[in-house]
A = this chain, B = another copy of it.
Amino acid sequence: MSEHYALPQDAEDAFYDALEAGDLERLMGVWDSSEDSACLLPMQALVRGPLAIREIFARLFKHQSGVELSVRHLHWIESSDLAVHLVEETPLATDPQGPPPGPIYGTNIFRRTPQGWRLVLHQNAPLPPPPDMRPPLEL
């Protein structure tokens, strides 16, 4: 199931396509197969390694058949063997009655392996509220 992704962007496109399709095998084929891989979904505990990552996405796909996100690139940092992409992910509304889900930040880190570029870290963080509703700046 694992394809050879010649560029970090190819692996990222495959990741979001597999997420939209709810295709667990294709999704896992994008991930680095080493224990270095780690995933931090919104308001979930950090999971590490391919087995734990498979389990969290299997649970996600049981709950929702697929997740369609509109993805906007914010910032790239690339080196010869690691690439960091910051994106804004906006879930497409699935409930026409409910409020549209807001965008969140996503960070995708890819590593060059002998099998092509693979996802090694996926992390989400909330986007801030509008400036006049933001809490005071603190760490």
Contacts and interface: CB of A to CB of B under 8 A. Distances in A.
Nearest to A44: B128
A139 B56 contact: no
Contacts of A79: 79, 81-82, 111
Nearest to A32: B77
Each complex incorporates copies of this chain amounting to: 2
Interface residues of A, number: 50
Given A46-B86, A89-B139, A136-B63, A36 B77 contact: yes
Contacts of A134: 43-44
Given A43-B126, A46-B105, A81-B82, 14 more contacts: A38-B77, A40-B105, A44-B137, A45-B127, A46-B74, A46-B75, A60-B139, A77-B121, A79-B82, A81-B81, A84-B84, A89-B139, A107-B107, A123-B123
Question: Which 7 residue pairs of A and B lie closest in terms of their CB atoms, listed nearest first?
Answer: A125-B125, A82-B82, A43-B128, A67-B139, A79-B82, A79-B81, A36-B77
